[in-house]
């Protein structure tokens, strides 16, 4: 008996199909798919040659055992493993005023960033291009830190990195043209 899986590394929330190929000269009487490790999932059609489940929202390995019984009551088993992978967040950075006057307060905003679970951290940093002015962010770990536009006409660039509960990250940047 052999078993196959539609994806050995499905993403969280993805449908996974377990398939068996079993042959016997007298025919197959029954199939039994059983989960043997990992966070519990609901197996659909577990008494069929094709079973399925939805990958859980955790990054873990799940193992399944297939037992096939023939018309004589003889059995054969095989195991298959699935390594569930996470879905990276999507970093989105906006700015309250993309063309502030010198001395105005500007708010950077990463709160539109999304994830299938939760964004657990924000990390902002200014990208200094050549001789640009360094500004002080109110708190670079906030979703929406502020800074005061410098007393020079220039473009300031900032990078946002967001991290989700699985430790996966995404990065984007945003610019501000001080006038």
pLDDT digits (tens, 9 = 90+) for 74-130: 999 999 999 999 999 999 999 999 999 999 999 999 999 999 989 999 999 999 877
Q: How far apart are CA 89 and CA 109, in angstroms?
A: 16
User: pTM here?
Assistant: 0.81
- Whether residue 162 contacts residue 110, with contact meaning beta carbons closer than 8 Å, is answered with yes
The pLDDT score that the predictor gives to residue 161 is 98
3-state helix, strand, coil in the chain (%, to 5): 0, 50, 50
State mean pLDDT over 38-44: 97
Q: Is the torsion defined by CA of 83, 84, 86, 87 positive or negative?
A: positive
């Amino acid at each position: 008996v052999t078993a196959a899986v539609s994806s050995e590394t499905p993403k969280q929330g993805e449908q996974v199909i377990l398939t068996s190929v079993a042959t016997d000269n007298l025919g197959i009487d029954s199939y039994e798919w059983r989960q043997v490790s990992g966070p519990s999932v609901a197996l659909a059609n577990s008494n069929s040659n094709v079973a399925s489940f939805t990958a859980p929202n955790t990054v873990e390995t799940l193992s399944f055992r297939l037992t096939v019984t023939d018309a004589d009551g003889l059995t054969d088993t095989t195991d298959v493993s699935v390594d569930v992978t996470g879905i990276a967040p999507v970093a989105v950075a906006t700015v309250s005023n993309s063309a502030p006057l010198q001395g105005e307060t500007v708010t950077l905003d990463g709160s539109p960033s999304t994830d299938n679970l939760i964004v657990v951290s924000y990390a902002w940093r200014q990208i200094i291009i050549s001789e640009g002015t360094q500004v002080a962010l109110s708190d670079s770990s906030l979703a929406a830190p502020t800074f005061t536009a410098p007393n020079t006409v220039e473009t300031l660039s900032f990078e946002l990195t967001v991290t989700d509960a699985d430790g996966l990250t995404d990065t984007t940047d945003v610019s501000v043209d001080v006038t």
